Amino acid sequence: MNVKRVLSSVVGAAVSVGLIIAGSPAASADPGVTLTSQQLTKQGFPKKPNTTGWDGTAVLSTNTAPQWEDVLLTGKAPSFAPIGQVLTMQRYVPTDANGDGSFKDLNITTTVQKNGTFSMHFQLGMPGTYGYRVGYLTSSSSPEFVGFQYQFTTTGTGKAAPSSGQSTAVKLNASQLEKAGFTRRVNTAAWGGTATISANRVPAGAPVTIQGTAPAEVAPGTVLQLSRFVPTDKYGSGSFEQVAGVQTQVATDGTFSLTFEINQTGRYGYTLGTAVGQEWVGMEFQLRTT
């Protein structure tokens, strides 16, 4: 799973993570501006996914659901989308009723499978009707967004928390994590720099060190945050949750080093990185604590 989760990824191969990855910065739009379903439709966010320009298919199991209810989005990517390409979901944050606004990354992602299909599970907690898009940025000198748009209504009061039955994490084995981009050796395909890890299996609470060099676009002083991947299916869809307090900064010479301890036992995928604009730039790896 490439961690430039566009954010691509997030990017090349990467986790089919429906990645709410350690998130990118929230859009700076005025949160007071809301659009009706009709206005969203006029701006290209219909109730059924708008695949014009996507050159693929996309189907939602529903376009209205209560907070934290699992929703399935499936389809087929265009033939030019690379296998392993990460598709990321973003929410449209309007600044006026005329179509101006920006997109906020939700760290919900999935990846394009070998047969060109994709499957994304997601649960939304923010009530209201909003426009969303799923896709990726091309890796050209002038990146373009490739994806599709739709509107979705989340019902509720805004105070509910996910129930244990609705967001139970799915356990992945080593091979499944590998396929999702969380390799034993650090996956730097979308990082653009280098990285090595001292071990990928340790007793719970034992120190682990990951170190390397940052790419040119990640400047000295940039904070790199560690996040754990929480899968929602066996194919790599899921989200990221930050590992509280586990972060480091890029040094003046462009290197970084992070020593951390994981007390929770089990095998999980992790990402260490930062948001650069609307793209997550980082590395991914798997770690088992016993």
Q: How many DSSP H helices and E strands does the chain contain?
A: 2, 16
CATH of the domain at 95: 2.60.40.10
In a domain, 230, yes or no: yes
* Distance linking the first and last C-alpha atoms of the chain: 24
In a domain, 26, yes or no: no
pLDDT at 84: 80
In a domain, 30, yes or no: no
Q: pLDDT tens digits, residue range 61-94?
A: 999 998 877 788 999 999 999 888 889 899 999 9
Using 50 as the pLDDT threshold, list the residues of the chain that sit under it. 1-30, 162-167
In a domain, 6, yes or no: no
> Chain-wide mean pLDDT for the chain?
81
pLDDT at 75: 93
Q: 196 CB contacts (<8 Å, ≥6 apart)?
A: 185, 186, 210, 211, 212
In a domain, 65, yes or no: yes
pLDDT at 234: 75
pLDDT at 159: 60
In a domain, 160, yes or no: yes
What residue numbers bound the domain in which 126 lies? Answer: 37-289
In a domain, 275, yes or no: yes
118-146 as b/e, with b when 16 or more CB fall inside 10 Å? Answer: bbbbbbbeebebbbbbbbbbbeeeeeeeb
In a domain, 1, yes or no: no
Amino acid at 59: V
Q: pLDDT tens digits, residue range 218-263?
A: 999 999 999 898 887 776 677 788 887 899 999 999 999 999 999 8
Domain count, the chain: 1
Round to whole Å and give the CA distance between 264 and 258.
18
pLDDT at 189: 83
